[in-house]
């Protein structure tokens, strides 16, 4: 059944994630395939209106990001303009405040380079730490990004253990995660139809 009429994730997709989670392979080999499948499933239409593509790191990102960024995927429209970005990292990032801050800042840098190219009113973004999801929404007209940036509380001290805790508390494979993806994809398809 297509994503547009489904009411939950297909059992086969959940099975792919479960199998890949158990494999003792480097992270990029575990999650790239499942997320590629998930995004292609979400944007499967009768036409070739959208395509999913892995991306190289933009040259303006610093060298440390090359090590930290495991998978960066973008959904493009047929004119090769971004409509959704997804940055995927290992599950372990969710439990460390400095990693959560780094994940948030990397997504925001992606927005700086990709928002000007988005043809829709909003550019959606997914920050995935394993299957823990944080959703971003960039408003093209105003240049604003939600959720608002939360700066380091004190540059002279280590981050509190609870810094940005709970911001990735939505499991993309849960019913709530499915519903959120349905909302995002519906918004993208509706906006694309009015272009």
**Structure tokens that stand for 30 in this block:** 């575990």
Q: Kindly state whether residue 53 falls inside one of the protein's structural domains.
A: yes
2 in a domain, yes or no?
no
Range of the domain at 175: 11-193
| Number of domains the chain contains | 1
In a domain, 94, yes or no: yes
Residue 49 lies in a domain: yes
In the chain, what are the helix, strand and coil shares in percent, each to the nearest 5? 40, 20, 40
* Structure tokens given for 107: 């997504």
Residue 107 belongs to some domain of the structure:
yes
Residue 82 lies in a domain: yes
- Residue 35 CA to residue 1 CA, distance in Å, equals 18
Cα Rg of the chain (Å, integer): 16
Q: Do 74 and 53 form a contact (C-beta atoms < 8 A)? A: yes
Residue 93 lies in a domain: yes
157/152 Cα distance (integer angstroms): 9
Query: Is there a domain that residue 5 lies in?
Result: no
Global pTM reads 0.89
pLDDT truncated to tens, each residue of the chain (195 aa)? 789 899 999 999 999 999 888 876 666 567 888 999 999 999 986 678 899 888 765 444 444 444 444 567 889 888 999 999 999 988 888 999 999 999 999 999 999 999 999 999 999 999 999 999 999 999 999 999 999 999 988 888 999 999 999 999 999 999 999 999 999 999 999 999 988
């Amino acid at each position: 059944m297509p994503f547009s009429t489904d009411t939950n994730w297909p059992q086969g997709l959940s099975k792919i994630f479960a199998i890949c989670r158990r494999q003792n392979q480097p992270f990029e080999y575990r999650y790239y395939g499942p997320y590629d499948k998930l995004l292609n499933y979400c944007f499967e239409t009768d036409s070739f209106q959208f395509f999913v593509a892995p991306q190289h790191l933009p040259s303006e990102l610093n060298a440390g990001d090359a090590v930290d960024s495991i998978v960066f995927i973008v959904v493009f429209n047929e004119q090769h303009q971004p409509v959704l970005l997804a940055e995927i990292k290992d599950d372990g990032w969710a439990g460390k405040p400095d990693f959560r801050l780094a994940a948030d800042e990397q997504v925001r840098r992606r927005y700086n380079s990709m928002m000007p190219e988005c043809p829709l009113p909003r550019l959606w973004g997914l920050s995935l730490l394993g299957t823990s999801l944080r959703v971003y929404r960039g408003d093209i007209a105003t240049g604003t990004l939600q959720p608002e940036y939360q700066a380091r509380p004190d540059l002279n001290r280590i981050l509190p253990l609870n810094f940005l805790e709970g911001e990735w508390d939505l499991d993309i494979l849960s019913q709530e995660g499915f519903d959120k993806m349905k909302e995002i994809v519906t918004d993208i398809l509706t906006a694309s139809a009015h272009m």
